[in-house]
Amino acid sequence: MKIFRSVNTKLLMRRNRGKIATIGTLAFGLWLGVAANVAALEEWSEVGFLFPVYIANQKKSRPYGPRGVRRATRAVKSRVVPKARYYGMEAKLAWGIATQRMRALPDFLIIGAQRAGTTSLYNYLIKHPCVRPALKKEIHYFDLNFSKGLRWYKGHFFCKWQPSQSKGGCGHKMITGEGTPYYIFHPHAPYRIVHTLPQVKLIGLLRNPVDRAYSHYIHHLRLGAETLSFEEAIINEASRLEGETENVMRQDNYHSLNHQYYSYLSRGIYSDQMERWLTLFPKDQLLIIGAEDLKEQTNKFYRQILEFLELPVFDLGHYTTYNRRQYPQMAPATRQRLVRFFAPHNQRLYRLLGKTFDWDK
């Protein structure tokens, strides 16, 4: 009987070794994640990670019933789920760092611009069968997290040694990438990228700078990071950014919230930014597309991007627009003033790129 059980156990182990290895990997990664965040267990207990425990706590002050269950469910969703996602991400990252020697570096980077459709483009790309997503879209390695080192960065990408990852469903080598819109504007990013990933392919989405500035403003207004009106914000931009770019340039690890948040007009002066990138990278490594073109002719420009990345043609069928927001119309006088402000910068950009966009209106 013991021999029979032993044989059955061995057979089960052989047949399910892949599943066992996966479970072991996840368990080890979770352990690493918790080990890296010792305070995790305390925070989980604070928000009542176990649903029954949370219900029991609520019963002391409120009658237990359908309303109590709904209230507790909402509380768990709003307080526990974000923490669960965060610590799940930390566990995956800890496992990625532990196995970073076997992991790929990105083949492409979406460098910006912010509020120009980079989230939509990234989601279109990772739906391609030959593209593996990073742990998250915006890693911010070459701008805000460069001091964490290449091991930390590689931990965000897939294991290249796995046989299933060597080729996608289309019979092509798998590639991966990320998209951090702050890269295009951060003064250190192009230099760090060219030294770390000299062969990487760069994709830039450029939106009409007037619309981009207003969308950027509304985004931070809704996040609670902005209290001024749009007109006041653009008038005060120069004083808010005074000395910040110089500080970012002077100090490698300097993080300026003003430079990141309140650069409504500065981020739209693409000519200054593209000049840095084109000085360091050859034109065949850099693809610049108008955000309006991608939105209006998505399938056409998606194919162009796939060709640039040397990927087989793939039709998504339906192209969802991500992070779409409705907001009040900009004052016509403000719009005309900004059109005049950006006109000479746009002309300079057109000369740099050898192409034009219909922005001067």
**Nearest by Cα to 154 from 182, 180, 178:** 178
Beta bridge partners of residue 109, listed in sequence order: 178, 202
In a 3-state reduction of DSSP, which class is residue 316?
A: coil
Q: Along the chain (361 residues), what's the average pLDDT of each consecutive run of 10 residues? A: 47 52 50 44 38 45 55 67 82 94 96 97 96 96 97 94 57 92 98 98 98 96 95 97 94 94 98 97 97 96 97 92 90 97 97 94 70
pLDDT of residue 204: 98
Contact criterion met (CB below 8 Å) for 159 and 165: yes
Q: What is the 3-state secondary structure (H, E, C) of 207-225?
A: CCHHHHHHHHHHHHHHHCC
Domain extents in the chain: 14-98, 104-353
**Nearest by Cα to 189 from 120, 252, 247, 101:** 252
User: Distance of CA 227 to CAs 218, 219, 263, 287, 333, Å?
Assistant: 11, 12, 15, 36, 21
From CA 156, how far away is CA 166, in angstroms rounded? Answer: 17
Contact criterion met (CB below 8 Å) for 21 and 29: no
From CA 188, how far away is CA 186, in angstroms rounded? Answer: 6
CATH number for the region 104-353 comes to: 3.40.50.300
From CA 356, how far away is CA 309, in angstroms rounded? Answer: 23
User: Which residues, including other chains, have CB under 8 Å from residue 275's CB and lie 6 or more apart?
Assistant: 352
Q: Which residue has the tokens 């604070």?
A: 46
**Helices 81-98 & 17-36, crossing angle to 10 degrees?**
110
Strands 131-133 and 108-112: what pairing?
unpaired
H-run or E-run covering 361: none
Question: How many CA atoms lie less than 13 Å away from 113 in the CB half-sphere?
Answer: 28
In the chain, the amino acid numbered 30 is L
* 108-112 β-sheet, strand order: 131-133, 175-179, 108-112, 201-206, 286-290
User: Distance of CA 89 to CAs 36, 179, 315, Å?
Assistant: 12, 17, 30
Give helix then strand counts, H and E, for the chain.
19, 5
**For 17-139, where are the E strands, in sequence order?**
108-112, 131-133
**Nearest by Cα to 109 from 140, 130, 151:** 140
Q: Which two tokens stand for residue 223?
A: 């996040």
In a 3-state reduction of DSSP, which class is residue 71?
A: helix
pLDDT of residue 360: 81
